[in-house]
A and B are shown apart, each in its own frame.
Chain A
Amino acid sequence: MKQKEYTISILTEDKPGLLNKITIIFNRRKINIASLNVSTTEVAGVSRYTLVVSLTPEEVKKIVKQIRKVVDVLGSFYYQENEVYYREIALYKFSVDMYKNNKELEQLIRNHGAKVMAIEGDQVVIEKTGSKQETHELYDALQPFDLMEFVRSGRIALSKSKRRTEAFIRELETSNSNALSIKEF
């Protein structure tokens, strides 16, 4: 079966060691994690892991259920591209001279919806948020200008479902069933 890119979103208790417990589930099946982000949520003590992986529809269902089994994982969900709002952020570093001597650079940055994040000493850092494709297009466009360094963050994503994290956690606390948290949203 063909692989697709999925966003996996995991709600967990904020406890040490969980990152490892989650990533070994991918490692066991020799699945490469394309990106990973851990953040707080609007609920105190609850963290959100956002991963991007390429998997078959079969694989992603199994993986998500195995993640849900980890004690301290509150919920585990997977989404296709059109089911989430998502962004990545990329930073691009140049020498100040390069930036000053090439007027078209400023135009290019504006055209790509990027902005100058910092000018400090002899360095300029450009910031761009968008999809991986968008940040990569800017990367390609900036390559001829002697790009010094480039970095891209992991994806962060919110699902388009109407679920609220707080309501989900409350339901989890009062329900006896785990069916709720493995349900595909």
Chain B
Amino acid sequence: MNTSTLEIEEKKVNKTEIIPGAEAVLKCLVEEGVDTIFGYPGGAIMPVYDSLYSYADKLNHILSRHEQGAIHAAQGYARASGKVGVCFATSGPGATNLITGITDAMIDSTPLVCITGQVASHLLGSDAFQETDIIGISMPVTKWNFQVTGAEEIPEAIAQAFYIAKSGRPGPVLIDITKDAQQKTLDFSYAPCKRVRSYHPYPELKDEPLRAAAKLINEAKKPYILFGQGVILSGAEGELKNFIEKTGIPAASTLLGLSAFSTKHPLYVGYTGMHGNYGPNVKTNECDVFIAIGMRFDDRVTGDVNTYAAQAKVIHIELDPAEINKNIKVDVAINGDAKQALQALTQLVNQNSHEDWVEEFHECDRIEMEKAIKKSIDPEGAQITMAEVVHKLSVFTKGKSLIVTDVGQHQMMASRYYKFDEYKSHITSGGLGTMGFCLPAAIGAKIGAPERQVIGIVGDGGFQMTLQELGLIMQYEVGVKILILNNEFLGMVRQWQQLFFDRRYSFTKMQNPDFIKLAASYNIPALQISDRSKLEDGFRSWLEPEGPGLLEIIVEKEENVFPMVPSGSCVSKIRLE
């Protein structure tokens, strides 16, 4: 070896530099392809924020108004962009304010990397100012967490954090970094994490269950597909469509599966669960083969598990082995990624059609239309209904908008009446049911998918839980459209009080501020509508201009969401009215 090649070799090896831990954090993020961070500074994370001052050209930091706003925005960003959402917060209250969002991301499988500052390592455990054991607190609600107390640990911890957050079934990861680790220097070099020996995110597909599933599907007379968010997370929308079209099997969606498959497809038979459509709920208990794809049999989907699809052979395509046989006993478990599993399974199944069986779903649709939908979307009363607004919005936007919802009646109306015709167009807090999710998540979604029209649909209750994040729309000129459906009630709780608690409306009535004036104080164009005849024009003046806009619609106070499967009931005993 001559001296010049030796020098080159040496340069390669010495491709390191001495920098503070705080800067290393940012370099790691840049290496991971991060360009957007949502966060809020404070004492223990100040070194990182100080370094961030010189990274403004590489990293776009969005300052929320509350850490909960930052994390929900990071969730919306991650779900709209498909990238890992990144969130900064300080120690103590900063870190604890992230917990709701972390929990939400955990249960809805959203990839996040949260970086929290921590008191200096010599103060750990001493009840120092703004010290909290965030590692202990976040343990049950993170996919992985880790405390860094030495600057030299930073690159490996962050590399592992990104790998774990985004691989397999995604989820939130928290890295807690003591202030001294941010301040001390390290010899920086970065290598992305490719493997953790205890963690195998992608199980190998096995032939045997695939063949068993294909046999059941090929012999089935009344097969039925229920797909969930797993399809979106694995990017399997094309594979799902091929599978459905080849087998001719009617397919329904879970709440989080919405927009994985066009609602306009002739084999799409609706959405399932507590406020889902009549057909898929009733037919769950009539089908002979039930094919669950990338979903986890949440109790809001199954109702009474003992009667749920009890007559059917159940096939479960699922990445997370802990979800298999957790709530519903399955006959064939295909443990693997939805995209791969559907590709393989589609090869093994016969071209088929089930016209008479699909027609049974359409018959159910007619019953639902007659008994529930018609009076919701075309009400007799003078007041506008939530269902009517969503239905008309869906028509107005041709089902092409990215819809972000909060939690409650408006959420169920949106999932029922927005006819999604664009892939990956629905973001909601499903598993955790976090009120206050919508506004920050919609802001994050718009930042993550600026080319999309992002509409946040929220109730008057949920809006007031995180309304401070209107400041983000103003400061960063986020062109998100907000729709408040105002019934001056915590509507879903009120509905349950009406149906199950003898109309005792205990603390569900709300006196609200003037949302239009509120929006005006943030320089957000806003409009209030209470008259049905003004709806269409209202949509136009709200949605057509570039930039943000808020539309408040005064809706019927005591509207109920129907159909409904009462909590814990058999799904085929769904109430239509």
**A residues touching B (Cβ–Cβ < 8 Å)?**
12-13, 17, 20-21, 24, 28, 61-62, 65-66, 68-69, 71-74, 169, 172-173, 175-179, 181-182
Across the interface, name the chain B residue whose C-beta is closest to A65.
Answer: B322
Instruction: Identify A69's interface contact among B139, B202, B320, B335, CB under 8 A.
Output: B320
B540 within 8 Å of A by Cβ? no
What's the Cα separation between A15 and B198 when bound, in Å? 12
Question: What residues on B are CB-neighbors of A179 within 8 Å?
Answer: 203-204, 206, 321, 335
Query: When the two chains form their complex, are residues A65 and B144 in contact, meaning their CB atoms are under 8 A apart?
Result: no
Q: Given A21-B139, A68-B322, decide whether A176 and B198 contact each other with a Cβ distance below 8 A.
A: no
Query: When the two chains form their complex, are residues A177 and B204 in contact, meaning their CB atoms are under 8 A apart?
Result: yes
For residue B212, give the distance in angstroms from its CB to the closest CB of chain A.
16
For residue B113, give the distance in angstroms from its CB to the closest CB of chain A.
14
> Which of B136, B200, B335 has the most A CB atoms < 10 Å from its CB?
B200
Question: What residues on B are CB-neighbors of A178 within 8 Å?
Answer: 200-201, 203, 321
B143 within 8 Å of A by Cβ? yes
Query: When the two chains form their complex, are residues B200 and A72 in contact, meaning their CB atoms are under 8 A apart?
Result: no
Question: What residues on B are CB-neighbors of A66 within 8 Å?
Answer: 322
For residue A62, give the distance in angstroms from its CB to the closest CB of chain B.
6
**B residues touching A (Cβ–Cβ < 8 Å)?**
135-136, 139-140, 143-144, 147, 164, 196-204, 206, 320-322, 324-326, 335
Query: When the two chains form their complex, are residues A74 and B322 in contact, meaning their CB atoms are under 8 A apart?
Result: no
Across the interface, name the chain B residue whose C-beta is closest to A72.
Answer: B198
Query: When the two chains form their complex, are residues B140 and A68 in contact, meaning their CB atoms are under 8 A apart?
Result: no
Query: When the two chains form their complex, are residues B135 and A17 in contact, meaning their CB atoms are under 8 A apart?
Result: yes
Instruction: Identify B322's interface contact among A21, A28, A62, A72, CB under 8 A.
Output: A62
What's the Cα separation between A182 and B321 when bound, in Å? 8
Across the interface, name the chain A residue whose C-beta is closest to B323.
Answer: A65
Query: When the two chains form their complex, are residues B203 and A177 in contact, meaning their CB atoms are under 8 A apart?
Result: yes
What's the Cα separation between A135 and B464 when bound, in Å? 61
Question: What residues on B are CB-neighbors of A17 within 8 Å?
Answer: 135, 139, 147
Question: What residues on A are CB-neighbors of B198 within 8 Å?
Answer: 12-13, 71-74, 172
For residue B160, give the distance in angstroms from its CB to the closest CB of chain A.
8
Query: When the two chains form their complex, are residues A71 and B199 in contact, meaning their CB atoms are under 8 A apart?
Result: yes
What's the Cα separation between A74 and B197 when bound, in Å? 8
What's the Cα separation between A72 and B325 when bound, in Å? 24
Q: Given A17-B135, A179-B203, A179-B204, decide whether A69 and B197 contact each other with a Cβ distance below 8 A.
A: no
Query: When the two chains form their complex, are residues A172 and B197 in contact, meaning their CB atoms are under 8 A apart?
Result: yes
For residue A57, give the distance in angstroms from its CB to the closest CB of chain B.
12
For residue A18, give the distance in angstroms from its CB to the closest CB of chain B.
10
For residue A28, give the distance in angstroms from its CB to the closest CB of chain B.
7
